Chain A
C-alpha cells in the first residue's frame, strides 16, 4: 500500500505508440516486476508510487498509463490536461514509434496548455538490442532530438530494470525544482500538482492557537 503521507502529488502521463512498452515500464517502476504477457491497455490505467527527493520531500507520483491504440486516441487526449510531466515513450527497435514522438509531443502540448509540462524522451526495450536484437533508433539520433526540443532523455529496459527508476526520477526532480523556483504552483482546478491531502497543515494552526491559551491560565 502506498504511503498515505506525502508532501506533493505529481501527475505524470505516459504517451506513445501502441506496444512500445508503456505499461511494462510502469509495472516495473511500481511493482519491480516484468510481465511477459500483458493485455493492451483500455483507455487509461493508473499506477502510483512514492519517491523521495534528496531533501527528504515525499512525492507521490500518480501515473496515467494511456492506451496507445489508435481507437482510444479520441478519449486519451481528454486525460492530458491535468498532467505536469509527460513521458514520451518509443521502442528503440521500432523507428516508426520514434518518428511519431513529435506528434505525441505536439498533441500533449496542445492539450496541456496553458501549462507547460516537463517532457522526457524514453526509449524502451534496451535489453532486446543488448541481446543482439536489431536497433532501429540510435542513441545519438534520440539524444539529438531530445537536445533539440529540450527534453530529458534515457534508454530503459523494463525487463532488466535499467534506467527505469532514472526515467521517472529525472522528471520528478525537474518538476520539483520548478516548484522550488516558483515556476510551478499548486492551482485550484488543475490537478497536475497537488499537496498531500494527509499533510496536517491545519494542525499547525491549531497548535499555535492552543498553546498560548494553556500558558495564559497559569
Chain B
C-alpha cells in the first residue's frame, strides 16, 4: 500500500494542475476495494495529523484515481457527484475546522466525517482539487491553527454532529446555501489576520457582516423564522420547535393558511428569543477572549463558522420537524371519521379491492361474446323458422339442377364456338343462319297473362303429355303431377289454420314445383344432348310449349293458395301474404324462363 502511495505521490505533481484528472474508474473489484481502503486510510490520517498532511494528500488522491483503470460501472454517478462535491468539500473542511475550534469533541466530528465520506466514496479527491484552486492559502492554514486550539475548548453539541453524519444530503444542501456567506467570511478573516489590533470591533463587525448577507438572501419570506440565522445559538432549537408547534396549531384551526394574529404572536416570541440568544453569544465570546489575543481572532472566525454551520443544520432539522408535524397533522385530520382512509381511498379510486382494468375488459369481452352468440342463435332460429324461397328451392335440388343445366349450356356454347371457328365464308354464314333460326324458334313470346288457370292435376298431365309428344324424348312428369295433387288435396282439407301457415305451404309448394320443373328441364337437356338424331324445330316447339305450361302451372298454384287466403278476413296481414305469394310465383317463373334460355345453345348444338 505504502509503496503504491509513494509512487503515485511522485507523479502527483504532474497531474496536479489538471482538474479533469480526478475521476478515473477502477479496473477490477479488487482494485477499487483497495482504492477505497487507501482513501479511507488517508482520510483518517488527515484528521489525525491535521492540516499539513491534508495538503500533501490532495495530489496523491487525485493521481491515484488517475492510475486506476476505466471499467467502473459507477462512471456517470461519480461524474455527477463530483460537481456537487467540488463545491461542498472545501466547506466541509472548513466546517470541520470550525467545529473543532468551537470546541467540539474530536471523536464525534471524526465519526461524522467518517460516516459521511464513505457514502460519497471517492469524492475526497474532488474537493481536494477544488480547495487547492481557491483556498489553499486560507482554509488549510487556518484549519491548521484552528485545530490546535480546538482541543482546548469544549462545548456540547452532539446533536449537530449526529445530524450531519446521518443526513449527508442535508449537510450538502446546507453547506451549499451558506457558501457565499463563507466566502465573505474568508475575506473577512484575512482582514482580521492583518489587523490584529482591532480585535473586538472587527468581531462585532463580522457578526454584522454575517447578518447582512443572510437577510438579503430571501429567507425573510419565512418572516421571523429566518431572522435568527444571524444570531447562531441554542435558542434556535426552541424557536424551530415553537414554529412547528405554531404550525400545528394553525393546521388544527384551519386548512393551513396561518392566521395573521397567530403569525404576529409567533413573530413577537421569536424577537424575544433573538434578544436572549444575542446575550448568550456575547457571553460565550467573552469566555473565548480570555485565552489569548492570537487565538481569539481565530477562534472568533471559528465561532462564526460553527455558528453558521449549526444554523444551517438547525434550519434543516427544524424545517424537517415542521414538515413532519404538518404531515402528521394532515394525516390525523384526513383520518377523522374515516379510519384507514377507506372512504377517501374509494373517492380517489386507489382502493386495492378494485378489479384490475384488464380483468374488467376481459369480462366485458366475454359478456359481449356471449350476447353475440345468443343473438346469432336467435337469428339462426328465426332464419330457420322463416321460410325462404331460395332455401327451399335449394333444398329440393332446384338450384343444383339449374346449375347443372347451366354447365351443359356452357359446354354446348363452347362446342359451337369450336365448330364455328374453322368455318369461313358461305359455310359460316349458313351455320350462323341456322343458329339464328333456332334462336327465333326459341322465342317464348308473351305469356298470355289473362289465360285461365289449369283446372287440375289431370289437366296438367294431359297438357304436358301433349307438349312432349313431338319432343322425341320420353319424359316422366309423374312427380310434378303428384306434387300438384298432393298439395291441392291437402290445401282443401286445411281448415281453421293461420294465414301464415297457408303462406308457408304455398311457398313450399312453389319451391318444390319449380325445383321439379327445373330438374325435368335439366333431364330433357341431357337427353337432347345424347340424342343421335334431332328435329330441332320440334324440340324447340315442345320446349316453348312446356315452358308455357310450367309457368301456367305455377300461376295456378299461386291462385289456389291466394284464393284460400281470400276466404279469410281481409286484413293487412292476409293481403300482404297474398302479394308475397304472387311475388314468389313470378320469381319461380323467372327461374323456369332462365332455364329455358339455357336450352338455346343445346338446341343449336342439335341443329348444327
Contacts and interface: CB of A to CB of B under 8 A. Distances in A.
B384 A4 contact: yes
Contacts of A203: 375-376, 379
Interface in B362-390: 368, 372, 375-376, 379-380, 383-384
Interface in A70-124: 71-72, 74-75, 78-79, 81-82
A74 B528 CA distance: 12
Residue among B379, B411, B530 having the largest count of chain A Cβ atoms under 10 Å: B530
Given A71-B530, A198-B383, A204 B408 contact: no
Interface string B416-440: 0000000000000000000000000
Given A1-B395, A46-B401, A74-B529, A204 B372 contact: yes
Given A74-B530, A78-B408, A78-B411, A46 B383 contact: no
Nearest to A42: B523
B397 interface: yes
B529 A5 contact: no
B598 to A, nearest CB: 13
A209 interface: no
Main secondary structure, interface of B, reads helix
B368 A211 contact: yes
* Chain A interface helix/strand/loop/mixed: mixed
Given A43-B523, A43-B526, A71-B530, A78 B401 contact: no
B522 interface: yes
Interface residues of B, number: 24
Contacts, number: 57
Given A4-B383, A48-B397, A42 B404 contact: no
B320 interface: no
A62 interface: yes
A42 B527 contact: yes
Contacts of B411: 75, 78
A82 B526 CA distance: 18
A78 B368 contact: no
Contact of A44 (B375, B383, B404, B527): B404
A5 B380 contact: yes
Given A75-B526, A198-B380, 17 more contacts: A4-B383, A4-B384, A5-B380, A42-B526, A42-B527, A43-B404, A43-B526, A46-B404, A74-B530, A75-B408, A75-B530, A78-B408, A78-B411, A200-B376, A203-B376, A203-B379, A211-B368
Interface of B: 368, 372, 375-376, 379-380, 383-384, 391, 395, 397, 400-401, 403-404, 407-408, 411, 522-523, 526-527, 529-530
